Structure 1
Amino acid sequence: MAGFERLVVVDKEDISVVRFVDRKIIDASEIEQLGAELLSLVDIQQRKRLLLNFEGVEFLSSAALNKLITLHTRVKRAGGTVRICNLHPQIREVFAITRLDRMFEIASSESAGLAMF
């Protein structure tokens, strides 16, 4: 999909599978861009069913987690759903500690994530 630098978006029927370009999501300016790209999926492209595939992502900063929370809120307000798959074990642990695993349904694989819809 044209226009994204931090994301790769592939549509599987009415579900948008979102993959991340960066292995480490820590740079403030990149996180701002990532957040803007994620929100544009909802606000501009009207996508309501997102599967965030974190395959290959090894680290997320707290600022990146905040962008995910904002995305979740925006998608939910639009009547949609965000699911997550392929979390690195360390990131999964952060989701558990911050209780984000209660906000997001998390699957072990992309196919399992797609099946959750």
Structure 2
Amino acid sequence: MAIASQTRDGILIIQVKDPRLVDEVVLEQLEKDVLGLIDQSEEERVIIDFQPVQFMSSSMLGKLVKIHKKCKEYKTKLKLSSMSPEIREVFKITKLDKLFDFEKDMESARKAFLKRGLFG
């Protein structure tokens, strides 16, 4: 399995385990697994953690856009964490950095979700 998941503090945390996201069969399965978790979850906050990922194909960017749309459909907030600087650069070049919310690491993403504003 290319991912692992857990729910903590009302947040669905999905950890990507594969360091190279290039094989189309693996990407299809990863998309299917992530969308399945989001479909089944009642959590309104999702973190997808890319800690071990060193390379990501452009096809994976498309899969992330589909996952983002599914989260919007469910009114679920999505954060991407632990992206390498090289992969983040691809998001900037493609202007997808405007679509996604990035955090330095999973713990930062979790803390950002747990912060309460002035009015709750």
**TM-score, normalised relative to structure 1:** 0.90
SS in 1 for 2:48: strand
Q: Which residue is equivalent to 2:22?
A: 26
Q: Is the 8 A contact 1:6 1:22 kept in 2?
A: yes
| Coordinate RMSD, CA, aligned | 1.2
Cα distance in 2 for residues equivalent to 1:44 and 1:109? 25
Matched, 1:74 2:105: no
How far did residue 45 of structure 1 move? 3.3
Q: Which residue is equivalent to 2:108?
A: 112
Return 7-16 or 22-31, whichever deviates more: 7-16
How far did residue 86 of structure 1 move? 0.8
How far did residue 109 of structure 1 move? 1.7
Cα distance in 2 for residues equivalent to 1:103 and 1:80? 14
Cα distance in 2 for residues equivalent to 1:59 and 1:49? 25
Q: How does 1:1-117 map to 2 (within 5 A)?
A: 5-117=1-113
How far did residue 46 of structure 1 move? 4.0
Q: Extract unaligned runs of 5+ from structure 1.
A: none
SS in 2 for 1:116: helix
Count of residues paired in the alignment: 113
Find the structure with the greater CA-based Rg.
Answer: 2
How far did residue 44 of structure 1 move? 3.0
Q: Is the 8 A contact 1:25 1:60 kept in 2?
A: yes
**TM-score, normalised relative to structure 2:** 0.88
Q: Which residue is equivalent to 2:117?
A: none
